[in-house]
Amino acid sequence: MAKIDKEKLAAVTGKGKGFIEEFKAFVLKGNVMDMAVGVIIGSAFASIVTALTDDFINPLINGIGGAEVAGQIKIYGGQYLNWGHFVTSVINFLIMAFVLFLMLKFVNKILAIGKKKEAEEVKETKSAELVVLEEILKEVKKK
């Protein structure tokens, strides 16, 4: 069996780094770390929303409507359909989606404020020649 030269293999495959170095570079990127923090915070927030639904919203629905949200329907063979668990999951999803919508809306407003400031700064830095050339261009387009 022929002996494989690692340098020739690296040259052919284009892989100069080892697996560990590539993995370190991937993990230490800012996006990956931000995503990990987001997942951890999201799971903690999900448990809060679940507690809110189980401990507050479901009892309110039970008290107002007289129906038990944690209900079951017996089907064949002694099996049950847990429709109450499904309704609770839907309520959890709607709460999470609404909160994410509000958060994204808030972040987009903050980003829009930053973009407006940048646009104003760009307008302020235009030279007199550029302003005159833009006015000439507008007049040419009109004709």
pLDDT tens for each residue of 66-125: 666 666 777 887 887 777 778 788 888 888 888 888 888 888 888 788 777 666 666 666
Q: How far apart are CA 36 and CA 54, in angstroms?
A: 27
**Does the pLDDT at position 129 exceed 70?**
yes
Task: Answer whether 99's CB lies under 8 Å from 93's CB.
Answer: no
Task: Answer whether 90's CB lies under 8 Å from 43's CB.
Answer: no
Q: How far apart are CA 96 and CA 91, in angstroms?
A: 9
Is 69 buried (19+), middle (13-18) or exposed (0-12) by CB count in 10 A? Answer: buried
Q: Which CATH fold would you assign to the domain 15-142?
A: 1.10.1200
pTM over 0.85? The answer is: no
Q: How far apart are CA 50 and CA 44, in angstroms?
A: 10
